[in-house]
């Protein structure tokens, strides 16, 4: 994506080949990361090896990062290491907890390092469509033939939650509409599979996040009448295909039941427990812990700490959840006030870059990254990205890295590439 043009959706095979070992590892981690942490870490290992071959670029890259990142990331890492060490009694649990913050920082910086090149940015977009094909295809197959709504993943809402960081990437391809007929078929298939896995694993959090992201996509991209007509045609065709595919599977009542349940939840304004799907109870416990541990209880220590307070009868059994289901409360409770402040500073830095893109009239990048960022912020209020480390978080963190890659001091043109 360069200026106000998007590279044609279907390029020669050469276009799909990474231009460096770092990029190869990065794309491998994203393409196969949905299978679990081992493929993701293997991709990270390849990327780290590649970084050794590009050591001259690392120091200038780090110096060019936004000031907000230079302050927030060291604070997150240092304070996270200290407060987790205080809270645990073994090196293993310290490493397990602190590595969560380390992986966040590494994932964001790796994405920033790779995506500052326009060609790599385009390949990332294309590879994310391949991820939609992979996850969506398997989810649809699993539902049609086995009636499973979670595919081969452990979480029944996974297929819809993963659509949040992939939503804008898929929809913008439909809106652009300047590809050839093969590219348009590819984009339609991506929209069809994205919608299928969204409905099959429907969650209220994904519904609200994607609706908010779509609203900002329209505001930032300002599609023409032709773009809108092309998009509406793709939506209608997607609806027709889904109305045939899902009912014929024999498991359509499962999806209908889920849709009714989510609508009922979002309509329960007078019942906070039902409206938040019992999250209000765990948020109450989170504030309880935050008041008693303003410096944080240590990363990945929430479940153990809640259990201890329940045993002391200072919290009731209804407050026991494995995670907090709110990104900001997770930072506050586990990382403490310093970590929450650092994270908000980091988000402010991302917002500033998006604002700069909008002022420069970088319409496509502004719409793509701005709408994705908006959707992630909504999800952060009802879900925890750090809690989704197993297979989901890296896709959210990559969006952050893609935003940072557009900062003026880190962008690299093809003419400036260090060989």
Task: Measure the CA angle with vertex 386, ends 154 and 172; round to 5°.
Answer: 80
- Non-local (6+) Cβ contacts of 189 within 8 A are 133
Helices (H) and strands (E) in the chain, counts: 19, 0
Q: What is the pLDDT of residue 184?
A: 67
Q: What is the pLDDT of residue 418?
A: 42
Structure tokens at 50: 């590649």
36 near 29, Cβ under 8 Å?
no
For residues 400 and 203, what is the distance between their CA atoms, to the nearest angstrom? 23
Q: What is the pLDDT of residue 344?
A: 97
Q: What is the pLDDT of residue 78?
A: 97
For residues 368 and 412, what is the distance between their CA atoms, to the nearest angstrom? 20
Q: What is the pLDDT of residue 314?
A: 85
Q: What is the pLDDT of residue 156?
A: 65
For residues 132 and 121, what is the distance between their CA atoms, to the nearest angstrom? 17
Give the three-class secondary structure for 174. Answer: helix
- Per the listing, tokens 């952060």 go with 380
Count the neighbouring beta carbons within 10 Å of the beta carbon of residue 127.
17
pTM above 0.85, yes or no: yes
320 near 306, Cβ under 8 Å?
yes
| Alpha carbon 95 to chain centroid, angstroms | 24
97 near 88, Cβ under 8 Å?
yes
- Non-local (6+) Cβ contacts of 208 within 8 A are 266, 378, 379, 382
Per-residue pLDDT tens digits of the chain, which is 419 residues long: 444 444 444 445 677 889 999 999 999 999 998 888 999 999 999 999 999 999 999 999 999 999 999 999 999 999 999 999 999 988 999 999 999 999 999 999 999 999 999 889 989 998 999 999 999 998 898 888 888 877 666 666 788 899 999 999 898 877 755 544 455 677 888 999 999 999 998 888 899 999 999 999 999 988 888 888 888 888 899 999 988 888 888 888 888 888 888 787 777 767 776 777 778 888 988 999 999 999 999 999 998 898 889 888 888 777 777 788 899 999 999 999 999 999 999 999 999 999 999 988 788 899 999 999 999 999 999 988 888 888 889 999 999 999 999 998 787 765 455 43
């Amino acid at each position: 994506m360069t200026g106000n043009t998007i590279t044609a959706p279907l390029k020669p095979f050469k276009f799909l080949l990474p231009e460096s070992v770092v990029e190869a590892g990065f794309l491998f981690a994203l393409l196969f990361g949905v299978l679990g942490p081992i493929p993701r870490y293997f991709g990270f290992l390849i990327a780290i090896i590649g970084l050794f071959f590009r050591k001259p670029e690392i120091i200038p890259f780090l110096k060019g990062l936004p000031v907000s990142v230079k302050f927030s990331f060291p604070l997150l890492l240092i304070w996270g290491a200290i407060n987790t060490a205080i809270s645990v009694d073994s090196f293993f649990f310290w490493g397990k907890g602190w590595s969560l913050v380390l992986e966040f920082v590494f994932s964001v910086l790796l994405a920033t390092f790779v995506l500052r090149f326009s060609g790599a940015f385009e390949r990332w977009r294309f590879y994310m469509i391949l991820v939609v094909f992979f996850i969506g295809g398997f989810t649809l197959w699993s539902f049609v033939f086995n009636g499973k709504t979670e595919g081969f993943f452990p979480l029944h809402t996974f297929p819809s939650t993963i659509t949040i960081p992939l939503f804008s990437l898929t929809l913008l391809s439909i809106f652009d509409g300047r590809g050839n007929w093969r590219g348009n078929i590819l984009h339609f298939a991506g929209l069809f599979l994205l919608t299928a896995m969204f409905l099959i694993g429907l969650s209220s959090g994904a519904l609200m996040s994607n609706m908010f992201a779509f609203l900002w996509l329209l505001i930032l991209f300002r599609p023409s009448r032709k773009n809108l007509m092309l998009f509406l045609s793709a939506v209608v065709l997607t609806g027709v295909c889904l109305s045939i595919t899902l009912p014929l599977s024999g498991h359509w009542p499962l999806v209908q039941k889920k849709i009714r349940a989510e609508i009922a939840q979002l309509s329960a304004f007078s019942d906070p427990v039902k409206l938040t799907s019992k999250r209000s109870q765990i948020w109450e416990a989170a504030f309880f812990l935050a008041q008693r541990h303003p410096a944080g209880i240590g990363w990945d220590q929430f479940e153990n700490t809640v259990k201890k307070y329940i045993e002391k009868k200072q919290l009731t059994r209804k407050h026991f959840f494995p995670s907090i289901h709110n990104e900001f409360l997770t930072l506050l409770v586990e990382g403490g006030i310093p970590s929450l402040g650092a994270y908000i500073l980091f988000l402010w830095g991302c917002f500033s870059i998006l604002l700069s893109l909008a002022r420069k009239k970088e319409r496509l990048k502004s719409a793509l990254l701005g709408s994705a960022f908006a959707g992630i912020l909504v999800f952060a209020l009802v879900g925890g990205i750090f809690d989704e480390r197993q297979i989901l978080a890296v896709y959210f963190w990559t969006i952050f890295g893609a935003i940072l890659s557009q900062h003026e001091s880190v962008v690299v043109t093809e003419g400036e590439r260090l060989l």
